[in-house]
Structure 1
Amino acid sequence: MLRLSSLYRFPMKSAKGEPLQQAQVDALGLAGDRRWMLVDAENGRFLTQRAFPRMSQLSALWNAAGGLSLKAEGLPDLDVPLPEPDANLRGTFVWGAPMFVPDAGDEAAQWLSGFLGKACRLVQVPEHRARDIPGSLLPEEKVGFADGFPLLLIGQASLDDLSARVGRPLEMLRFRPNLVVEGSEAYAEDGWTRIRIGGVEFSVAKGCSRCILTTIDPATGERSADREPLTTLKGYREREGEVYFGQNLINRSNGVLEVGMAVEVLE
């Protein structure tokens, strides 16, 4: 039987993730997931572990008030309130898509600039300021600050297979999925087009192309000297110059997900 074995939320794009036992699914995916983002203070370009691996050591967790709780070694903890949704708007863009979203204020910017060693600003995306899913013709299909789609799913057997090929155990968190499914064959998710977990249905949109970020150890923030697992993935998961691991999802309904729920493949 297929079941949901893990749930992860990543409140800030490219910061640490948090494991969950239960999560609400809303119009933009998991509630609170990738709703915050760091941007360059000068040009609004978004910042990630690709250029700043230190972000892997930043704890930026969604709190019950809807704000963000920041923690990092050597810095005092900081709770950032949810900004007003239509005030202090800052222009940014995610992979070419322009967005105008609220800035979280100077205190958060100073804290994060000190942590990163670069002048940056913290922004947040309310639902009505989300962007269209790339390539979608449906106006209701929106995404926050995730790269392209609201959710990412990986089969546990797929990671186990990759770990065996690399020759050492790999952490699931380096691939930053929201949903982990166990009980399937390795890469079975490649053939799914529609699934249901609990009362929530999902369309499987496309494979997730992977980048240098997968070579960063989520525990230490250090890049693998051997460029693994990207090197191994290129050997058997490359298509048309892109390396794929995991599947992007679009939720077709809202509801609650809980670890242990059955996963049903509808198509």
Structure 2
Amino acid sequence: MTVQLFIPCFVDQLYPQTAFNMVKVLEKAGVEVAYNTEQTCCGQPAFNAGFRDEAREVCTKFLRDFDGSDYVVAPSASCVGFVRNYYSTLFNNSSLHNEVRGLQKRIYEFSSFLVNVLGVEDVGATLHGKATYHDSCAALRECRIKEEPRKLLSRVKGLELLEMNDVETCCGFGGSFAVKFESISIAMADQKVNNALQTGADYIISTDMSCLMHLEGYIRHKGHPIRTMHIADVLANC
């Protein structure tokens, strides 16, 4: 099987190792990975800011970059959720309607692809310590991802998975929300981190680097003894 790799903007610029780790795990699972170097953004930032025409232009390029029949896999439920749930709004009754429907069926978040398409739950990873999992809003509500990451993490040797209180509550990032409503965003991060700390976990793990970036900033500022890790980085750890 060949899959097309989509790497979100912030992962490409700030966390490239997470992308490489996702490739490592996919190849270990027997998948051939292809990467279109012309790819850019999925269009979500412009769409969320209200620039619909500009977003449509970026999204049209995304459709062209990932045309064909291959699965498209990304280390971000946020981007996948945007394509699945909002491209139809941008291209309703347009000549690209069928292309949109096709892509929406082919695009997957990384952990969901492993479990639901490949049928893989144990990738032979090892990580010693305790961890708690953060359900990102996009993964939980837009992609309906709940059990898949937990199944994968439960098979990681040496890792004890603990559930925090209010696990389905937002971490406070929300893209531009964190900029426009800074004090609320920080308060939500404080709640999320303290719930994680109460479990005694060494790590907060999630499918979305955007959430983890937000939480990591708060953790560093407060000097808390806990780390954040993307699930791809965990699963690539042997």
- TM-score, with length taken from structure 1: 0.25
Higher strand share: 1
Larger RCO, structure (CA 8 Å, separation 6 or more): 1
- TM-score, with length taken from structure 2: 0.27
Higher helix share: 2
